[in-house]
């Protein structure tokens, strides 16, 4: 009896024989003749059969197969689709790697180290890879973490990656740990360990991602590879099932981790959270090239010149060509346009940000272990991951490994459930986009104000046409109509979410399963027999910080604006402006909740930069960091003023002095700006509010305030008292120190005098200087304060397609 065995070359003959002997007891599989290899089944190395002249059961090898480089390259391409498909070119960038030292991240690092030499021109999101940066996070929560991070960094150097060890700084954690250690309250710690661990795990995840985002944004890296694998996906979906996602989140909660999504936990971080595009365009080698290159421009210019017939051009010029009618048609129409408010120049909308990719999701963990073992890659085990009492994920992992779960909860069934849920969710998303474009639902969008006008179509559920039966006699048609109605309600809820994303200050809008009541209001034709559909005239309502106002003159049209801020919180914000010196915060601290009143401050120019100069020689401060104001506007500014500047909502209480300042045009002897000389600022301001921000919408706009009178700066008057001005430039150092001390005391006395005039001890007198989103400001302010404003990232492709259709 002869036997022929076919095994992968990487497996030794002794191991192959042992595998065959061990697998001889496997039964119940269909008999095969000859030699066959079937790979890709749950990471198994192959399926071998022994040819004995008669049918024999196949032998199933339990040895995991290492991930081949071609498999990894295909998975990386599939996980990173193009981000800017319409761009003229994408410049290469370095790609970040999140490395923890575990077997999964070390396998990812090894595969990336061998990828570029053998796959030239490999891309991530259509951008050529110029190398990898390994980002190693040292949590500092257990002994030996620093040494382990250094060892991981050494392995990264061997692989040829740039490496960076990021030491996480925990606000107050070290002091609390020392106090707990000295107290030795073991019983109390044991009772509260579960709660502390949960909070610690949440904070560790948040701070880890924010540290990664901060360092990647500084390096201008917009792509990060994570090492989540198939087993992580399985555990994630099981945890969501235990949390009730299948009941409350619908199929979208069972999709698991996405192969590509925005880097989590970095909300409000410019350059990391859906932003950074326009600053990147200012660089010499931007990530996205939208305009033609110099060579392309020269070629187009030469082509245009070659098409000119100079003889015909000379005849046209002699016949009177080149006159009034050679202007663009839109220019001629503007000459006869009726007078009205000047059009509001739309501001830029942001884009880019850091995207996390998970190319290892198709591979099981055993294949990652096999990859490291086959290539001699070291990894470092974290013993806390094996403690089932530490976290819920650890407990679930212990349950899966040591107990036999029902077949419906085993990995193949759960992954199939996730794949089906993802396919259905993608179909719903695609149909919602087609619906928005087909009916031109977006009619107008103003990023300067943050408003949207939409017109909804009528969606009626109809069963498939069946000519041999009538709807009245067909129970099939009734069931299919009901099924179609439920499907359309889901699609309608998705369209509502898309509309909300343009205006809402919240990062994550309401889930589809919780929008069914809103669907009954906006799409009453989809209401079921027991649903309370909207009757009579439509009424306004608020959702996710967005106020829906029906446009009565246009049927099924709605005006979406930012919901008005609560007036009860205005005084609290004004009081906070007196105690917060500048816009500060640690990486662990999150931005303000969208439901709270938006507020941000920028520091005054330091005394060290202006004590020896008069106000005309004060330098500009550096541009402040970008602030995500109200979850909608990215704002930054720089100043020459010696007072703190705050961003707050436009308040009616301070609008009267602001209007009076606009009416004066050019107060004092100061020479006006060019922007101030173009007509009446007050008239322009009133027309803009009437046309673009009617009613309470205007009070959601951001305003620039100061808590001190800066009339001296706007009027061109001196700031320092004459007796404190510099008279001797070569004064001794002792005199300079004394004079600086006198100037400091003088400024403090001025602030104390202004504080005495406040209407309340904790409520300073605010002075409104500008509304930056509509570019209206008091005359002369541009000499002292400058700002840049951009709107948050929105789906401009969907909006443009819908506007073209409407």
Domain architecture of the chain: domains with CATH: 13-60 (no CATH), 69-174+194-284+353-420 (3.40.50.620), 439-563 (no CATH), 567-796 (no CATH)
Estimate the crossing angle of helix 411-438 against helix 475-503, to 10 degrees. 80
* Per-residue model confidence (pLDDT) at position 572: 52
* Per-residue model confidence (pLDDT) at position 169: 82
The better pLDDT of the pair 20, 238 is held by: 238
User: How far does the chain reach from its first CA to its final CA, in angstroms?
Assistant: 78
Average pLDDT score over residue span 35-58: 38
What CA–CA distance (Å, rounded) separates 301 from 514? 56
* Per-residue model confidence (pLDDT) at position 336: 47
Average pLDDT score over residue span 663-691: 67
pLDDT tens-place string over residues 155-182? 999 999 999 999 988 765 444 444 344 4
| Confidence band, pLDDT 50/70/90 cuts, at residue 242 | confident
| Most confident option among 269-273, 393-397, 650-654 | 269-273
The better pLDDT of the pair 248, 69 is held by: 69
Torsional class of 478: left (φ above 0), alpha (ψ -120 to 50), beta (otherwise): alpha
**Is the pLDDT at 338 greater than 60, yes or no?**
no
Q: 494 with 461: CB under 8 angstroms?
A: no
Least confident of 412-416, 459-463, 692-696, 712-716: 459-463
| Confidence band, pLDDT 50/70/90 cuts, at residue 763 | low
* Per-residue model confidence (pLDDT) at position 666: 60
The better pLDDT of the pair 450, 740 is held by: 450
**Is the pLDDT at 571 greater than 60, yes or no?**
no
| Confidence band, pLDDT 50/70/90 cuts, at residue 676 | very low
**Is the pLDDT at 247 greater than 90, yes or no?**
no
**Is the pLDDT at 739 greater than 50, yes or no?**
yes
Tokens of 676: 């101030």
Could you write out the DSSP letters of every residue in 12-79? Answer: -HHHHHHHHHHGGG--SSPPB-S------STTB--EE---SSS-B--EE--PBPPPPHHHHHHHHHHH
What CA–CA distance (Å, rounded) separates 71 from 370? 14
* Per-residue model confidence (pLDDT) at position 743: 82
The better pLDDT of the pair 734, 96 is held by: 96
**Is the pLDDT at 41 greater than 90, yes or no?**
no
State the Rg of the chain over Cα: 33
| Confidence band, pLDDT 50/70/90 cuts, at residue 1 | very low
Tokens of 491: 């699609």
Least confident of 40-54, 447-461, 729-743, 777-791: 40-54
* Per-residue model confidence (pLDDT) at position 10: 36
* Per-residue model confidence (pLDDT) at position 160: 95
| Other beta carbons within 10 Å of 774 | 23
Average pLDDT score over residue span 141-152: 89
The better pLDDT of the pair 343, 592 is held by: 343
What CA–CA distance (Å, rounded) separates 490 from 95? 37
Q: 229 with 364: CB under 8 angstroms?
A: yes
| Confidence band, pLDDT 50/70/90 cuts, at residue 63 | confident
Tokens of 631: 């979850």
User: 3-class SS at 705?
Assistant: strand
Tokens of 206: 């948040």
Kindly state the percentage of the chain with pLDDT values over 90: 50
* Nearest by Cα to 5 from 15, 16, 14: 16
**Rounded mean pLDDT of the chain?**
80
Q: Which residues contact 652 (CB under 8 A, 6 or more apart)?
A: 699
Average pLDDT score over residue span 459-487: 75
* Per-residue model confidence (pLDDT) at position 85: 85
Helix residue ranges, H only, 580-722: 655-663, 681-692, 711-715
Average pLDDT score over residue span 768-772: 96
Could you write out the DSSP letters of every residue in 464-494? Answer: PP-TTS-TTT-HHHHHHHHHHHHHHHHHHHH
Kindly state the percentage of the chain with pLDDT values over 70: 75
- Alpha-carbon torsion (113, 119, 121, 123), positive or negative: negative
* Nearest by Cα to 392 from 99, 195, 142: 195
Residue 12's Cβ-count burial label (10 Å; 0-12, 13-18, 19+) is: exposed
Least confident of 266-275, 404-413, 490-499, 528-537: 528-537
| Confidence band, pLDDT 50/70/90 cuts, at residue 513 | confident
**Is the pLDDT at 315 greater than 90, yes or no?**
no
pTM of the model: 0.82
* Per-residue model confidence (pLDDT) at position 754: 75
| Other beta carbons within 10 Å of 733 | 7
| Confidence band, pLDDT 50/70/90 cuts, at residue 263 | very high
Q: 109 with 156: CB under 8 angstroms?
A: yes
* Per-residue model confidence (pLDDT) at position 204: 86
Tokens 């308040």 map to which residue? Answer: 651
**Is the pLDDT at 732 greater than 90, yes or no?**
no
Estimate the crossing angle of helix 145-159 against helix 103-113, to 10 degrees. 20
* Per-residue model confidence (pLDDT) at position 295: 86
| Other beta carbons within 10 Å of 473 | 9
Q: Enumerate the β-bridge partners of residue 495.
A: none
* Per-residue model confidence (pLDDT) at position 138: 92
**Is the pLDDT at 577 greater than 80, yes or no?**
no
Residue 625's Cβ-count burial label (10 Å; 0-12, 13-18, 19+) is: exposed
The better pLDDT of the pair 23, 278 is held by: 278
**Is the pLDDT at 187 greater than 90, yes or no?**
no
* Nearest by Cα to 740 from 639, 615, 609: 609
What CA–CA distance (Å, rounded) separates 394 from 235? 10
What CA–CA distance (Å, rounded) separates 507 from 509? 6
Length of the chain: 806
| Other beta carbons within 10 Å of 492 | 25
Average pLDDT score over residue span 444-473: 81
* Per-residue model confidence (pLDDT) at position 728: 56
* Per-residue model confidence (pLDDT) at position 589: 53
Q: Which residues contact 432 (CB under 8 A, 6 or more apart)?
A: 491, 494, 495, 498
* Per-residue model confidence (pLDDT) at position 667: 55
* Per-residue model confidence (pLDDT) at position 680: 78
Burial 669-705 (b: 16+ CB within 10 A, else e): ebeeeeebeeeebbebbeebbeebbeeebbbbbbbbb
């Amino acid at each position: 009896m002869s036997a022929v065995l076919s095994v992968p070359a990487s497996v030794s003959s002794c191991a192959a024989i042992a595998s065959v002997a061990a697998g001889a007891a496997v039964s119940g599989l269909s008999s095969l003749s000859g030699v066959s290899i079937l790979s890709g089944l749950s990471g198994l190395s192959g399926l071998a059969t022994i040819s004995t002249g008669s049918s024999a059961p196949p032998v199933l090898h339990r040895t995991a197969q290492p991930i081949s480089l071609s498999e990894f390259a295909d998975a990386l391409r599939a996980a990173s689709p193009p981000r800017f498909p319409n761009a003229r070119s994408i410049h290469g960038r370095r790609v970040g790697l999140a490395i923890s030292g575990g077997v999964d991240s070390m396998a990812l690092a090894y595969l990336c180290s061998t990828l570029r030499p053998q796959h030239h021109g490999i891309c991530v999101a259509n951008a050529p890879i110029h190398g990898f940066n390994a980002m190693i996070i040292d949590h500092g929560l257990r002994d030996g973490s620093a040494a382990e991070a250094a060892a991981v960094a050494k392995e990264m150097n061997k692989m040829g990656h740039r490496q960076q060890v990021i030491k996480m700084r925990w606000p107050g954690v070290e002091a609390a740990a020392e106090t707990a250690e000295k107290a030795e309250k073991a019983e109390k710690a044991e009772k509260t360990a579960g709660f502390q661990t949960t909070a610690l795990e949440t904070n560790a995840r948040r701070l880890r991602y924010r540290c990664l985002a901060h360092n990647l944004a500084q390096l201008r890296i917009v792509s990060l590879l994570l090492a989540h694998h198939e087993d992580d996906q399985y555990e994630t979906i099981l945890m969501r099932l235990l949390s009730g996602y299948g009941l409350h989140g619908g199929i979208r909660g069972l999709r698991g981790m996405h192969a590509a999504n925005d880097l989590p936990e970095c909300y409000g971080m410019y350059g990391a959270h859906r932003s950074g595009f326009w600053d990147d365009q200012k660089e010499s080698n931007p990530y996205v090239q939208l305009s033609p290159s110099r060579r392309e421009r020269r070629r187009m210019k030469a082509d245009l010149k070659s098409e000119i017939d100079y003889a015909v051009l000379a005849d046209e010029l002699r016949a009177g060509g080149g006159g009034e009618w050679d202007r663009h048609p839109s220019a001629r129409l503007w000459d006869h346009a009726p007078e009205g408010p000047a059009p509001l120049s739309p501001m830029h909308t942001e884009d880019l940000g850091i995207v996390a990719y998970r190319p290892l999701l198709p591979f099981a963990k055993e294949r990652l272990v096999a990859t490291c073992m086959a290539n001699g890659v070291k990894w470092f085990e974290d013993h806390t991951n094996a403690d089932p009492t530490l976290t819920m994920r650890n407990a679930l992992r212990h349950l899966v490994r040591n107990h036999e779960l029902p077949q419906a909860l085993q990995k193949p069934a759960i992954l199939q459930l996730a794949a089906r849920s993802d396919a259905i969710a993608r179909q719903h998303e695609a149909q919602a986009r087609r619906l928005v474009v087909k009916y031109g639902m977006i009619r107008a969008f103003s990023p300067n104000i943050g408003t949207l006008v939409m017109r909804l179509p009528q969606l009626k559920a109809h069963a498939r046409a069946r000519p041999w039966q009538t709807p009245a006699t067909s129970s099939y048609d009734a069931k299919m109509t009901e099924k179609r109605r439920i499907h359309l309600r889901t699609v309608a809820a998705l369209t509502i979410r898309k509309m909300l994303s343009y205006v809402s200050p919240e990062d994550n809008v309401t889930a589809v399963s919780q929008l069914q009541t809103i669907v009954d209001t906006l799409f009453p034709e989809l209401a079921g027999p027991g649903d309370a559909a909207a009757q009579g005239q439509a009424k306004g309502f608020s959702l996710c910080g967005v106020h829906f106002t029906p446009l009565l003159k246009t049927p099924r049209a709605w005006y979406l604006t930012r919901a008005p801020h609560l007036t009860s919180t205005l005084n609290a914000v004004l009081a906070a402006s007196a105690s917060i010196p500048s816009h500060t915060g640690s990486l662990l601290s999150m931005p303000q909740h969208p439901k709270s009143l938006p507020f941000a401050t920028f520091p005054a120019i330091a005394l060290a930069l202006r004590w020896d100069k008069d106000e005309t020689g004060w330098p500009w401060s550096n541009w402040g960091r970008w602030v995500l104001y109200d979850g909608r506007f990215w704002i930054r500014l720089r100043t020459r003023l010696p007072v703190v500047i705050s961003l707050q909502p436009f308040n009616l209480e301070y609008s009267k002095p602001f209007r009076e300042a606009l009416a004066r045009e050019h107060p004092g002897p100061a020479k006006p700006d060019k922007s101030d000389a173009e007509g009446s600022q007050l008239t322009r301001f009133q027309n803009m509010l009437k046309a673009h921000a009617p009613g309470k919408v205007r009070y959601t706009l951001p305003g620039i305030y100061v808590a001190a009178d800066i009339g001296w700066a706007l009027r061109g008057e001196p700031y320092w008292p004459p007796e404190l001005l510099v008279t001797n430039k070569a004064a001794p150092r002792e005199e300079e120190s004394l004079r600086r001390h006198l100037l400091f005391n003088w400024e403090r006395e001025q602030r104390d005098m202004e504080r005495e005039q406040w209407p309340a001890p904790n409520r300073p007198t605010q002075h409104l200087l500008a509304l930056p989103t509509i570019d209206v400001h008091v005359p002369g302010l541009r000499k002292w304060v400058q700002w840049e404003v951009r709107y948050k990232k929105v789906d401009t492709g969907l909006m443009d397609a819908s506007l073209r259709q409407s």
